[in-house]
Chain A
Amino acid sequence: MLTNEEFTDCVQRYLNTVFRVAYNYLGSGADADDVTQNVFLKLLREKKPFEGDEHIRNWLIRVTINECKNLVRSKWWRMESLENHLAAPDFEDPAHSDLFYAVMALPKKYRIPIYLHYYEGYTTSEIAQILKVPKNTVCTQLRRGRECIRKSFMEEAESNV
């Protein structure tokens, strides 16, 4: 079990990682906040020892994904559209705002690998392990996710012509 000091250190280092994974999965800041609190409560109660920082980070991401899965299984959640959940941060650069919406419009099966790869720096093999999918699937998801974003930017540019 983590000491209070170790727990505080984990919160400072990984709070936003957990939040962003949940946000990418759920598209909702309020739901991601709830999931983040649940995940850290589980971390506080975890009795098994951790082998190091990487173990804690992987554990947190995996538990976050399971928490999100549980939430999404609820009927009410499924009835609401992403649009209803989405509350975007304020972006000074309009291109960043467009990129945010393009990413959040992707199916979540693409959003999570993209986040883990481009933000957290995980390799495709590591993502495959965390998400319980074959490595080839992760490669495909990353490629298709990028293609979808590129396509949505091209469509946006064409509509502005």
Chain B
Amino acid sequence: MFKDDYQAVFSKVTASEETYKKVMDLPKNRKNPGRFLGKALIVAAVISTLAVMASGAESVGKWFLRYFSDNAGQSLTKSQVEYIEENAQNDVAVPVQTPTEADEPVRVEVKSALTDGKTAYLTLSLTIPENVELTSLDPKWPDPILRFREALLIPEDTTGLIIAPDGTSPDALCEYSAVEDNDGLDWTQELVFEIDPALEDPEAEPFADGRQWRMVLTGVELMFFEPDREDLLLSDQTWEFTLNFQQGDSRQVELVQEPIRLMASKLLRNEYTIEVELTSFTLSTLNFRTVFTPTDPTLAGELLDMGDVKIVMKDGREVTLLRLTSTASAIGRPIILEEVDHVLLADGTKLPMPEGWDR
């Protein structure tokens, strides 16, 4: 009886149509040279990317190039590569507390940063002892993942930010990915952190020049997927750095000239019946921000979803953003503002780049 009722209840819990669509679309972004090399434009982009990457093998931005092209599922354009090369910063971190090499075989080094003042990316190099096995013993399971037991980011100036009771910026360091470094050494990893702090003020610039942050990384562990293997703590040491970001292209463009009425849905419902007023949509190189409020004041504070949003470039390329649910979010790759034609909302509304925005 319990089983029947339970199954009846949880058969109602299903992934959203958007998730189904996004997951089904994943193979479209699969790296497949045969598919991508067909278009002359892409060939040119690939060649220019490879040329820049080859010439800048030790360049500050090289991990960002790999990270963003992985994110986009395709090579970056020449202008994106140039943006990264010009704006990546190699002197972002000053070590405050790092164990000596004699005491600690695990090493952590901050390599470079990239920010538009709103979203920041940071690359770290992590080295573990050579004898640590980084492949799963049972081929049925994925290889283990190296990760920090705790990664905290603490702003010196909290203006405009949502701050946890312990003074940290919640979630700021929770997203990081390993980037293939092709050095042939299993025990070295390059990590790219996407830092997108929670904001109280939608106009806050958490990484504007002069704003200092403290990063505290504690414990390095290997997380296994095999059911019978415990996670392995490689180090319980703490690494602490002071971070001084320098904005690259910090321009932002406001795309909403007059408030726009749109339909939104409560999360998970997919019933776009709630009217909201969009009063701001700002786009910067690495970030987009929105301000919208439901016209029914009783729904203020409700988490709402306005569906997929796309940035449409002048050459027809499209960049799909996260569903429009929050007030600020990282785009996931650099956008060259001069190349943007318009932003396309889920209901078909176009937000064109305003005339003369770059004057």
Q: Tell me if A's interface is mostly helix, strand, loop or mixed.
A: helix
**CA A47 to CA B5, docked complex, whole Å:** 39
* Interface check A115, CB cutoff 8 A: yes
Question: Mask for A101-132, Cβ within 8 A of B = 1, else 0?
Answer: 00100000000001100110000000001111
Question: Mask for B152-169, Cβ within 8 A of A = 1, else 0?
Answer: 100000000000100010
Question: Mask for A54-95, Cβ within 8 A of B = 1, else 0?
Answer: 010001001100100011011111010000000101110101
Question: Mask for B3-21, Cβ within 8 A of A = 1, else 0?
Answer: 1011111101111101110
The answer to whether B268 and A87 touch across the interface, beta carbons within 8 angstroms, is yes
Chain-A contact segment, one of B116-124, B222-230, B255-263: B222-230
Given contacts A48-B142, A62-B141, contact A115 B19 (CB under 8 A): no
**CA A74 to CA B152, docked complex, whole Å:** 10
Residues of B within 8 A of A50 (CB): 140
- Within the complex, what minimum Cβ distance (angstroms) separates B310 from chain A? 17
**CA A99 to CA B2, docked complex, whole Å:** 10
* Interface check B312, CB cutoff 8 A: no
Q: Which B residue sits closest to A34, measured CB to CB?
A: B19
The answer to whether B13 and A91 touch across the interface, beta carbons within 8 angstroms, is no
The answer to whether A19 and B30 touch across the interface, beta carbons within 8 angstroms, is no
Q: Which B residue sits closest to A75, measured CB to CB?
A: B170
* Interface check B303, CB cutoff 8 A: yes
**CA A99 to CA B11, docked complex, whole Å:** 13
* Interface check B267, CB cutoff 8 A: yes
* Interface check A41, CB cutoff 8 A: yes
Question: Mask for B317-344, Cβ within 8 A of A = 1, else 0?
Answer: 0000000010000000000000000000
The answer to whether A63 and B225 touch across the interface, beta carbons within 8 angstroms, is yes
- Within the complex, what minimum Cβ distance (angstroms) separates B111 from chain A? 23
The answer to whether A91 and B12 touch across the interface, beta carbons within 8 angstroms, is yes
The total of chain B residues at the interface (CB under 8 A) is 47
The answer to whether B15 and A32 touch across the interface, beta carbons within 8 angstroms, is yes
Choose from A30, A41, A46, A66 the contact partner of B26 (Cβ within 8 Å).
Answer: A41
The answer to whether A46 and B19 touch across the interface, beta carbons within 8 angstroms, is no
Given contacts A33-B19, A40-B23, A41-B26, contact A62 B227 (CB under 8 A): yes
The answer to whether B24 and A11 touch across the interface, beta carbons within 8 angstroms, is yes
Given contacts A75-B170, A89-B13, A91-B9, contact A15 B20 (CB under 8 A): yes
The answer to whether A20 and B5 touch across the interface, beta carbons within 8 angstroms, is no
| Central interface residue in B10, B171, B228, B266, by most chain A CB within 10 Å | B10
* Interface check B33, CB cutoff 8 A: no
**CA A75 to CA B169, docked complex, whole Å:** 9
The answer to whether A75 and B15 touch across the interface, beta carbons within 8 angstroms, is no
The answer to whether A19 and B7 touch across the interface, beta carbons within 8 angstroms, is no
Residues of B within 8 A of A139 (CB): none
Q: How large is the interface on A (under 10, 10 to 19, 20 to 34, 35 or more residues)?
A: 35 or more
- Within the complex, what minimum Cβ distance (angstroms) separates A99 from chain B? 5
The answer to whether B268 and A29 touch across the interface, beta carbons within 8 angstroms, is yes
Given contacts A79-B170, A130-B227, contact A11 B23 (CB under 8 A): yes
The answer to whether B141 and A20 touch across the interface, beta carbons within 8 angstroms, is no
* Interface check A23, CB cutoff 8 A: yes
The answer to whether B23 and A15 touch across the interface, beta carbons within 8 angstroms, is yes
- Within the complex, what minimum Cβ distance (angstroms) separates A22 from chain B? 9
Choose from A15, A76, A100, A146 the contact partner of B15 (Cβ within 8 Å).
Answer: A15
- 13 A–B contacts, CB within 8 A, in A order: A15-B23, A23-B13, A29-B16, A29-B267, A44-B30, A51-B140, A66-B145, A66-B223, A75-B171, A89-B13, A96-B8, A96-B12, A103-B9
Interface residues, chain B, with chain A CB atoms under 8 Å away: 2-3, 5-10, 12-16, 18-20, 22-24, 26-27, 30, 139-142, 145, 147, 152, 164, 168, 170-171, 174, 198, 223, 225, 227-228, 230, 266-269, 303, 305, 325
Beyond known contacts A29-B268, A73-B174, A77-B171: 16 more, CB 8 A cutoff: A4-B30, A19-B15, A29-B16, A32-B15, A33-B18, A36-B19, A42-B142, A48-B140, A48-B142, A55-B140, A75-B170, A79-B170, A87-B268, A118-B6, A131-B227, A132-B227
